[in-house]
Amino acid sequence: MEAATVKHVLSIGLVLVVLVSFAGCRATLEPVPESTAVPAVPAAWTLLVRGDGPRWLGPAWWRAQGIDPASLTLDRIHLTRHGDVTPALLLSSAAGPGLFFYGETAPNRLGPVGGYHLTLDAAGGLNEFVQGSLVMAELSAVPAPPQAQTATATVLWLEEDNVYRPTAPPETNWLWTSFNAAPAVTLTVTLTETLSTPVTLTLRFWGQSSMPQNPDHHIRVVWNGEPVDDHYWDGSALEEWTVAVPAPRQGSNELVLISPGDTAAPVEVTWLDRVGVTWQRALTYTGGWEHWIAGTEPAACWEAVPAGHVAVLLVSADGTVRGGLVERDAGGRVCVAQQTGDRGWIGTLEAASTPDLVRPRETIEADMLAVDYLIIAPRLFHTALAPLVKARVAEGLSVLVVTPEQVYDAFSAGVPGAEAIHAAVLALHARGRLSYLLLVGDASADSRPWWQAESALVPTGWGRTAFLGDTASEQALVLGDDGAPLVAVGRFPASTVAEVQAMVAKTLAWKPTSRVSLLHDDEPEFVTMTDALAEILAPDLRLGDDESDTRRDLLRWLRAAPGVLIYSGHGSLPVLGDEKFLTVEDAGAWDGPTVVAAWTCLAANFTHPTQMGLGEAWLRHPKGVVALVGPTAETTTGEQLAMALAFQRALSEGATIGDALLAGWHAAQSQDAAISFVLLGDPALRPMSLP
């Protein structure tokens, strides 16, 4: 940091759900009875899809759930999305009947995703709804009309998420490549069933650099050896444009994107995000599921359709969904009645995609919501958390441990994300008791790990700051309707059971202390902040980089006994201080438990996709740091000061570390500083002993 300008339980496999009841002043720990963990009826699942289109739960899937697919009727099936009934059909494939529906996505930080709840033998089966409105309208093949659609516009998107840049425009943080490394990128574009018509390219770039000269950026487009476009733009901006190029070759085509480097700007930094290729394709069945966009013709006619259980799905512009099995004519042709703008799919049921993730649905009972302390943790961590839960209950707190999946299913139709956690916090806080939230699990700016089975990730919120751009913000998870934070929140940034065990053990071993050390860099802003902090809480050791052997003296102090370290100065993901007072490699360098407050930059960033932050590494080690308050982004000391003073004052008054950070958030005069400072550790931990 620069001194003035910076630089997932109520389901199969339940391990632990804890509620607390009170009899007089005595708290008792009551596990939820096992018999309530897995309801026998109704059977319920959560389905997640990551792309729009037809979805098929075939007979093999139903048999795997212990259900005879021949017993299925629409009266038994209840399929919803955000509480609304989803149109669906029971169709027969060669292997037997199954459920056919349209999977629809919505934007999400994890990418486009749609969440569905499927319940069997619940009230409100699909046949209870009006045929043709909420139940999918059935369609069939029609005779070929004189005028029929025989081709469609098809789009191929080329994109690779290779480089993460938080400063890129929102939702474009993952980029393909920079033209600083190579002045040209050559792509092979393979097109099938192409017609001899022009192709349209949709090009999206991020021009990162901004110079006084205009323009800043220039990209030349070459298609099959022929230059087709020179595009210029100015400033740091996301730029998307289209280019018409000559008719494609059948099969492979060559697209070359060149940055000539001939603008007057002394620095040009340009990134490729993605390329879309739109071409006309004949409606010829080539296997799998084929997609088309309806034109003005009353029907679309497909050639070379195979014999068997071929299904069609149509989605109108108004959202009406129609589908069903179709029969081909003697020549292997199928014609489907359509309306202009319909999106259509055709294919065999056996080749249709299943939902991308199917798991048992998990719930949170309403009477479980009146608690003081909510812990959200993947199921594999619950046993390791039991000692911490027991300790907090002994202190008089009522504690509820749930999986992220419970939260998703209760508050966001099963879709993972920070929005579900935020909704859960609001619901619990409305009961008037929630004071602490602990998230147990890692988080990442990379969305791909979220789709792994038994993910150990728990989402964080996100905010946008002036210097860093997108940054992790736990505060975003606990904001009330008025924009003010409601509860104290902390995180154990663990990815393994052993790491959770280490964090729990360190937390339980901690005893409030009066030992305080203040450490600062030598710039005036850092010295001034440290002077102000010292007036609130006098240290027994103060160190600055103008003293010799500062690192040696600091480590000696840290190793001697438990203590609280307050730091003001430069910082980054791996280092505190220009002089490397402490580094990420110092995890476990001292035995004495330590609580750290780092008024710096980036030290608490736990979401970087390729680099572990200092705070995260320190928390994961069995020795040393018990909790750390620090930033995920870059802000100036001036922006941090009001928050730091309120935090220091709350510490001196014996507040828990979570409540101290909450006080800092409320006092903050900089939104960037408030949203980016987080707590890695237990928010109910009390750092300081009172005099």
Which DSSP letter does residue 614 get? H
User: Pick from 309, 298, 302: which is nearest to 340 by CA?
Assistant: 298
pLDDT band at 30 (very low <50, low <70, confident <90, very high): very low
Please state, in angstroms and as integers, the Cα–Cα distance from residue 75 to each residue in 133, 270, 413, 481, 501, following that order.
Answer: 16, 56, 22, 40, 48
Given phi > 0 = left and psi -120 to 50 = alpha, else beta, which region is 549? left
Are residues 437 and 418 in contact, defined by beta-carbon separation less than 8 angstroms? no
Name the residue with higher pLDDT: 136 or 4.
136
User: Pick from 497, 375, 356, 473: which is nearest to 415 by CA?
Assistant: 356
- The alpha carbon torsion through 244, 246, 251, 254 (nearest 10 deg) reads -80
What architecture is domain 510-680?
3-Layer(aba) Sandwich (3.40)
Q: What is the pLDDT of residues 548-601, one digit of tens each?
A: 789 999 999 999 999 999 999 999 999 999 889 999 999 999 998 999 999 999
> ∠ CA 486-500-387 to the nearest 5 degrees?
80
Residue that the structure tokens 């006080």 belong to: 663
| Amino acid symbol at 595 | V
Q: What is the pLDDT of residues 383-440, one digit of tens each?
A: 999 999 999 999 999 999 999 999 999 999 999 999 999 999 999 999 888 999 999 9
Q: What is the pLDDT of residues 35-54, one digit of tens each?
A: 233 334 469 999 999 999 99
Are residues 231 and 278 in contact, defined by beta-carbon separation less than 8 angstroms? no
Outline where DSSP puts E strands in 327-398: 334-337, 343-348, 357-360, 373-376
The whole-number pLDDT of residue 234 equals: 95
Are residues 47 and 118 in contact, defined by beta-carbon separation less than 8 angstroms? yes
The whole-number pLDDT of residue 110 equals: 81
Topology, domain 151-282: Jelly Rolls (2.60.120)
Residue 618, helix vs strand vs coil: helix
Q: What is the pLDDT of residues 154-195, one digit of tens each?
A: 999 999 999 999 999 988 999 999 998 678 999 999 988 888
Per-residue tokens: 389: 């839960």
pLDDT band at 129 (very low <50, low <70, confident <90, very high): low
The whole-number pLDDT of residue 250 equals: 84
CB neighbour class for 264 (10 Å; exposed up to 12, middle 13-18, buried from 19): exposed
| Residue ranges covered by each domain of the chain | 18-38+362-477, 51-146+284-355, 151-282, 510-680
Q: How large is the average pLDDT for residues 201-230?
A: 96
The whole-number pLDDT of residue 453 equals: 63
Pairing assessment for the beta strands 594-599 and 563-568 based on DSSP bridges: parallel
Among 99-103, 128-132, 144-148, 282-286, top mean pLDDT goes to 99-103
pTM attached to this predicted model: 0.90
Outline where DSSP puts E strands in 60-121: 77-81, 84-85, 88-93, 96-103, 114-120
pLDDT band at 122 (very low <50, low <70, confident <90, very high): confident
User: Pick from 424, 378, 435, 422: which is nearest to 402 by CA?
Assistant: 378
Q: What is the pLDDT of residues 273-295, one digit of tens each?
A: 999 999 999 998 888 899 999 99
